[in-house]
Structure 1
Amino acid sequence: MTASVVICVYTEDRWSDILAAVDSVHAQSYAALETLLVVDHNPALLDRLTKEFDGEPDVKVLANAGPRGLSAGRNTGIAAARGDIIAFLDDDAVAERDWLHWFVDGYADPRVLAVGGHTEPIWASGRRPLWFPEEFDWVVGCSYKGLPRGKVRVRNVLGGNASFRRGAFDIAGGFATGIGRDGDKRPLGCEETELCIRITRARPDAVLLIDDRAVIHHRVPAGRERFAYFRTRTYAEGLSKALVARSVGADKGLETERAYSTRVLPAGAARGVRDFALGRAGGAGRAGAIVAGVLAAAGGYALGNWRARGAGATFTVAEIDAPTKEVGRTEAAA
């Protein structure tokens, strides 16, 4: 099987990270057919990357052909990709040598339509902040405590370290452009959750996997090690979950979150309290952060739900189309 790797980029501030991400794809034990760099409405970065990779036939630099944001960038990459499998790598992450190998290995079963991996944080300060609970590592785009380990079936993969069989997009369409991130604006997410639920609804026999042998290392900048970002990101996650629940229904949209909030988080808070009682550093901070994160996410979800029920025109999931249709429509309009 052939694999295309899509890396969405938006800022020159991550220049060295972008080059490192591409280098990690070039170093794979299972060679990628191509690497697609999709630039999100940044002409200067587009020009610089085009010059950087001029003459490298396996690297293509593309402009996001849809609206600004990560989802449209991914859809642009999907539309241009030639591989049987389309893998996504964050622009500030590096993949281990066997990353693609383990992705491709997962598709031996024809029912498998998506395979995700395991993402480890690289903290700017050199170590995890003492107050930062592992249960909330999704806040910084990494795998979190509570995810199943090994090679297991899941409801959804995590977007920064994921792959999809090309046919999944033919079945369910592309990423919804009204949910995910838009550069450095409010850190929304969940676009991959919404897509994965649509895939399994369109194909009830579909299998989605996480294989924690497919490892990447994700850089966490200093600004994201602060509690202010933690609070903002958890609140934005609540808003995103409201959008997902509206799009695909609360039964599936919140299925995994119910187990996480009723089992994983209480256990994490209890460990923090226990560590505090035993005089271990950071215990009280971790317990407090878990409580604060739950409250912020709940507040975001409540607001999102209220907006969705009320003046929906200002808070809706954008129209979902197949990636090729979205790109074609945008080019025609231009």
Structure 2
Amino acid sequence: MGLTVSVVVITYARPDYVRTCLEHLARLGRAPLEILVVDASPDDRTASLLREEFPAVRLLRNDLGRGTMPESRQIGLAAAAGDVVAFIDDDAYVEPDWLDELLAPYDDGTVVGVGGRASNGIEGEESEGLAEIGRFLPDGRLTGNFGADPGRVIDVDHLLGANMSFRRSALEAVGGIRGNYPGTCVCEESDVSLRLTAAGGRLVFAPRALVRHVAAPYQTGGKRFDRRYLYYLRRNHVVLLARNFGWRDPRLPRYARVVTREQSTYLWAFRSRLGPTMADGSRRSLLRRITSPVVLTRSVAELGGLAAGVPAAWAARRRDRAEGIATP
């Protein structure tokens, strides 16, 4: 008898995307044991959708509201019955053979997590960053490149939240999925990935386990890669490093130095916009020159997030200890 799978879809105020996501799941060549939708929405549109169109799908509530994707994943994990728990976002649409491809690497008992490829519809993404898919670098940074296709299953250090799966027993053994990664909720999938590899498990990337990631508009405030995103990207990354490796680990100061050096790109952009002419020789408008300092606010967001990560990490580590989770 093969492994059973619980598919967990997390969502916030995007019922139309949930509908399309569930329609694709219904076309799977291999059916999962169950599908669970964890809804943190402030309204009942998603609940009504499931009740009227997908009665076999189990609805779970996350009453914490927006910006709590890690908590939604944990709610799904706690309710799941499958041997493997597969997580996808509501804007990730699976291919018919997705589940078969996702499960195949689990034939190796050392594999505790399998992630799949997320196609974003970007030209050339299948060959972008092939040598650095899902890596944890010595300077504390994490690489993505989950749209790349290496043509084979490869080992990775972390997985993409929009298309990832884990053995339920392995997740439970490390204490499940930790919260305290708020805002745009970056880093929570990397947190659990790093904890699993630290416990001796293997994570692999199976490119043929494909989802079409349509990148739905944020319903939790802001836009993709805006200043709010940049703030939480840096804040949550500091929390990630401090929680998993401690304050004395050299990757934490290395990461801070890398982020600080990267701010020079904003300074260069600011200076270039002050000039009277564009790169093609045309005149730059006075309004554009006057508003050029706006670009520096992105640097303020990143450095602010980096600084805010320190007290946030102290609080997260203190909460982990209170909950009986060992901290380095």
Flag whether TM exceeds 0.5 (same fold). yes
For residue 220 of structure 1, report the CA deviation from its aligned partner: 2.7
TM-score, normalisation: structure 1: 0.66
* Structure 1: tracts of 5 or more residues without a match: 129-133, 181-185, 263-278, 280-294, 326-334
Listed as ranges, the matches of 1:201-220 within 5 Å are 201=198, 203-204=199-200, 206-220=201-215
Amino acid at match of 1:307: A
For residue 234 of structure 1, report the CA deviation from its aligned partner: 3.9
**Percent identity for Structure 1 against Structure 2:** 26
Counterpart of 2:188 in structure 1 is 191
Q: Distance in 1 between matches of 2:97 and 2:20?
A: 16
CA 1:87–1:303 in structure 2 vs 1: closer, same or farther (change >3 Å)? same
For residue 19 of structure 1, report the CA deviation from its aligned partner: 1.1
Listed as ranges, the matches of 1:1-334 within 5 Å are 1-11=3-13, 14-53=14-53, 55-56=55-56, 59-64=57-62, 69-122=68-121, 143-144=145-146, 150-180=152-182, 186-201=183-198, 203-204=199-200, 206-221=201-216, 229-232=224-227, 233-249=229-245, 302-309=303-310, 311-312=311-312, 316=316, 319-320=319-320
CA 1:111–1:64 in structure 2 vs 1: closer, same or farther (change >3 Å)? same
Q: Distance in 2 between matches of 1:167 and 1:220?
A: 31
CA-atom RMSD in angstroms: 4.1
Q: Distance in 2 between matches of 1:197 and 1:70?
A: 18
CA 1:193–1:24 in structure 2 vs 1: closer, same or farther (change >3 Å)? same
Equivalences, count = 265
For residue 16 of structure 1, report the CA deviation from its aligned partner: 2.3
For residue 252 of structure 1, report the CA deviation from its aligned partner: 6.9
For residue 187 of structure 1, report the CA deviation from its aligned partner: 2.1
Amino acid at match of 1:306: A
Counterpart of 2:287 in structure 1 is none
Query: 1:269-299: CA deviations, max 9, x gaps?
Result: xxxxxxxxxx9xxxxxxxxxxxxxxx99986
Amino acid at match of 2:62: N
Query: 1:41-71: CA deviations, max 9, x gaps?
Result: 5341353134225642xx1111126675111
Q: Distance in 2 between matches of 1:314 and 1:4?
A: 34
Contact kept in structure 2, 1:46 and 1:63, CA below 8 Å? no
Amino acid at match of 1:51: R
Identify the structure with the greater helix proportion: 1
Secondary structure of 2:38's counterpart equals strand
Secondary structure of 1:230's counterpart equals coil
CA 1:245–1:50 in structure 2 vs 1: closer, same or farther (change >3 Å)? same
TM-score, normalisation: structure 2: 0.67
Runs (4+) of structure 1 exceeding 6 A deviation are: 252-259, 295-299
Q: Distance in 1 between matches of 2:256 and 2:158?
A: 12
CA 1:91–1:229 in structure 2 vs 1: closer, same or farther (change >3 Å)? closer
CA 1:71–1:222 in structure 2 vs 1: closer, same or farther (change >3 Å)? closer
Which stretch of the first structure deviates more once superposed, 62-71 or 249-258? 249-258
CA 1:165–1:98 in structure 2 vs 1: closer, same or farther (change >3 Å)? same
For residue 213 of structure 1, report the CA deviation from its aligned partner: 0.7
Contact kept in structure 1, 2:7 and 2:88, CA below 8 Å? yes
For residue 222 of structure 1, report the CA deviation from its aligned partner: 6.9
Q: Which has the larger radius of gyration?
A: 2
Amino acid at match of 2:170: A
Contact kept in structure 1, 2:117 and 2:147, CA below 8 Å? no
CA 1:153–1:18 in structure 2 vs 1: closer, same or farther (change >3 Å)? same
Contact kept in structure 1, 2:153 and 2:204, CA below 8 Å? yes
Amino acid at match of 2:213: H
Query: 1:281-332: CA deviations, max 9, x gaps?
Result: xxxxxxxxxxxxxx999866654443344x45896468459x9x9xxxxxxx
Greater relative CO, 1 or 2 (CA 8 Å, sep 6+): 1
